[in-house]
Structure 1
């Protein structure tokens, strides 16, 4: 009887893992082909505000503004607004140097955090469409021409571009991020066609100002915006041809810290919007939230169940010995990758095991912090490893 329970635990956990990483991507892809949500696109030129939220970005803001000023769009229809969240370095001073070129500065006093600063800046934006950006992200010049046509469809409330990570130092963390993001991009494309995006890249997404609803301070704004848009009866869609570039983190510690923050914020967002997890209310959008977020964050528990059940079953059949050996080997490779990175001798072969375990460790730590009620309204940008 005990063996039977252990086998059930093993195979149910394996099945759930298979669904998370392969079954759901296949499901959403097939659904997007079976019942695609088409978009009416047209060449339109609405008033646009590029909103760049920054805290102590003196080393990046000048290049960012030069890049933004080169975007292909009529200058009379473009507002560039930098929202400085109480910066204490030369960020504001540098932005003021661009005032003669049409750049505006909104200084938020008191360091209230990115999301609250965005809320207050959106109120001051003059554009019909607000494009949200980060100070460290560079755009291709055609992003407006590729994103704005979707807003000709009145059912579209948000359009997200594609983030491409750059890793000039060719680190293991960078390779892991690039592989993971390629996988995520495939899923985003299918989700956009099937129903609606459940999350945007925070450095490149545009929203109808009329549809923007102020968010609580600790929100993961680029995730929550898609839920907010869907609640209003509109869609968030993906424009993969609209590309932006950003450096990856180069160290495991930095990547872990960033992912813990984002996942912890997302747990808060999911909890506050748990009614959207009901398929009878939000349809396939709920399936996407459960499959892409909740079950993904439950992977550490599933991995633990597979490991423990394998240990108990190893004496029953050679298959479980093989399964246990494979798991231990994989975890040893991930640990070896982390140790070699700390020694300054990274091995490319270990990039994927290292990043996989890093991402799942982040889920565990983030859930713990969520249960403790820790908030992330404010955080320090990670720049030292770039």
Structure 2
């Protein structure tokens, strides 16, 4: 029994280490061999494009969003704005209709989803009305840089590139400890994505700003989200999903832990399916670096919830076997105690804040798992007021 417990301990330690430290370091080393491979752009590539905004009860931000889209630096005759309202019950539809009436010279449409089934379903239904060559997706509460659409489409320089995501810039990073922690995490993740895209293909995108060819669009199950589903889908087809961080969208992060925790729980609503989404994905001979990327960036991170529990229990069982196991167990206890102290004292000590934020991330995975087993996962999202 003891050998099994020790094996579980070391496997769990490896998963945690590889997800948070080993994989990012290894990727930087691999990236050194691809320094000459840079993102190619073709600014003469200006196809027709529909910019789709999915909104559910976004009366607070939808007008600013529409005005923002009219300021985009892209040929107006080639651009259409489509608001897919996911059964909004506030003034969202009314605001959009009035905006359309006031801008009759612009191509703006409102698509009303009759039954609320979530963001992905609203995209699926609205996409069937699109006639342009490309689709750009963006959130109602994010503002796009003037050159964002031009940058996204300039990156489609070959038929193998099926998906391009931009850079989400958090504008309220210094507003609270929560938004600051999310901002630091996001900056490190952007660096990883840039390397993955340069070497081959990214493992996940961002819902605030991304694009694909209309003909490549796929109707995903409404429980899924494009952020994680699209890059994987295209990678399995032998195509590439990349990032162009010169295409920028600005957005607020959650400023309180309740908002951020809720967002993370929603992100984990299909976590079990994403650990090993398709056994083919680990065929390195066929998918090359993407197999490595997915294991390090996705599979290991999606296993943090069970890895932290198993390493703690295993360590407790063998704590007296050697000084190493004793110190490892004390280290784990100290980690969780510091996170609890942060909850109670709300200190400004960066290490405490970091430990707390990390524990919240793992806890959100556990809640996601809990909801999956109880059949309580839904495709709906409840907007965080602190991000509006």
TM-score by length of 1: 0.90
The alignment status of 1:206 with 2:225, answered yes or no, reads no
- What CA distance in whole angstroms lies between the structure 2 residues aligned with 1:358 and 1:97? 42
For 2:246, what is the secondary structure of its paired residue? strand
Aligned-partner SS, 1:264 = coil
**Would the aligned equivalents of 1:113 and 1:378 in 2 still touch at CA under 8 Å?**
yes
Q: Unaligned stretches of 5+ in structure 2?
A: none
Shift of 1:32: 3.8
**Structure 1 partner of 2:23:** 24
Counterpart check, 1:42 vs 2:42: yes
**Contact map agreement 2:234 2:240 (CA 8 A) in 1:** yes
Higher mean C-alpha displacement, 300-309 vs 32-41 = 32-41
Q: Check the 8 A contact 2:178/2:256 in 1, yes or no.
A: yes
Provide the residue aligned with 1:91 in structure 2: 92
> Is contact 2:173–2:180 with CA below 8 Å preserved after alignment?
no
Give me the whole-angstrom Cα distance separating, in 2, the residues matched to 1:348 and 1:69.
43
Q: Does 1:337 align with 2:338?
A: no
Shift of 1:384: 5.4
User: How far, CA to CA, are the matches of 1:346 and 1:131 in structure 2?
Assistant: 41
2:73 aligned residue: 72
Answer yes or no: is the 8 Å Cα contact 1:28–1:194 preserved in 2.
no
| Displacement of 1:169 | 6.4
Match of 2:361 in 1: 359
What corresponds to 1:225 in structure 2?
230
Match of 1:152 among 150, 157, 163: 157
Contact 1:171 1:346 in 2 (8 A): no
Classify the secondary structure of the residue corresponding to 1:136: coil
Question: Is 2:194 the counterpart of 1:189?
Answer: yes
1:216 to 2:216 alignment: no
- SS of the aligned residue for 2:250 comes to strand
TM-superposed CA distance for 1:7, in Å, is 4.8
**Any idea what SS the aligned residue of 2:155 has?**
helix
Q: Aligned equivalents of 2:387 and 2:136: distance in 1? A: 27
The CA distance in 2 between the partners of 1:359 and 1:277, in whole Å, is 26
Shift of 1:314: 3.9
Counterparts in 2 of 1:255-270, with a 5 A limit? 255-268=260-273
Q: Is the 8 A contact 1:252 1:338 kept in 2?
A: no
* Structure 1 position 192, deviation (Å): 0.7
The reply to whether residue 133 of structure 1 matches residue 134 of structure 2 is: no
Over aligned residues, Cα RMSD in angstroms? 2.4
CA distance in 1, matches of 2:258, 2:166: 27
What is the Cα deviation at residue 232 of structure 1?
Answer: 3.2
Within 5 A, what are the aligned runs for 1:160-175? 160-167=165-172, 170-175=175-180
Task: Tell me whether 51-60 or 186-195 shows the greater mean CA deviation.
Answer: 186-195
For residues 318 and 306 of structure 1, the distance between their equivalents in structure 2, rounded to whole angstroms, comes to 16
Q: Which moved more, 1:212-221 or 1:159-168?
A: 159-168
Cα distance in structure 1, aligned partners of 2:217 and 2:32: 30
Q: Could you say what secondary structure the match of 1:249 adopts?
A: coil
C-alpha distance 23-271 of structure 1, shift in aligned 2 (>3 A): closer
- Indicate if the aligned counterparts of 2:136 and 2:149 stay in contact, CA closer than 8 A: no
In structure 2, the CA distance between the partners of 1:273 and 1:89, relative to structure 1 (3 Å rule), is: farther
1:282-314 deviation per Cα after TM superposition (whole angstroms, max 9, x unaligned): 333232222211211212332233333443444
CA offsets 1:305-331 (integer angstroms, 9 cap, x no match): 333344344434444333322221211
1:88-127 equivalent positions in 2, closer than 5 A:
88-99=89-100, 100-101=102-103, 102=106, 103-127=108-132
Q: Deviations over 1:9-32 (max 9, x none)?
A: 444433332222222123333334
Whether the 8 Å contact between 1:172 and 1:348 is mirrored in structure 2 is no
Give secondary structure in 2 for the equivalent of 1:322: helix
The verdict on how the C-alpha distance between 1:384 and 1:19 changes in structure 2, with shifts beyond 3 A counting, is closer
Tell me, yes or no, if the aligned pair for 1:175 and 1:351 is still in contact at 8 Å: no
C-alpha separation in 2, matches of 1:244 and 1:264:
25
TM-score, reference length from structure 2: 0.90
Deviations 1:113-168 (A, max 9, x none): 21111011112123211110110001111112322211122211111001122326
In 1, Cα distance between equivalents of 2:306 and 2:274: 21
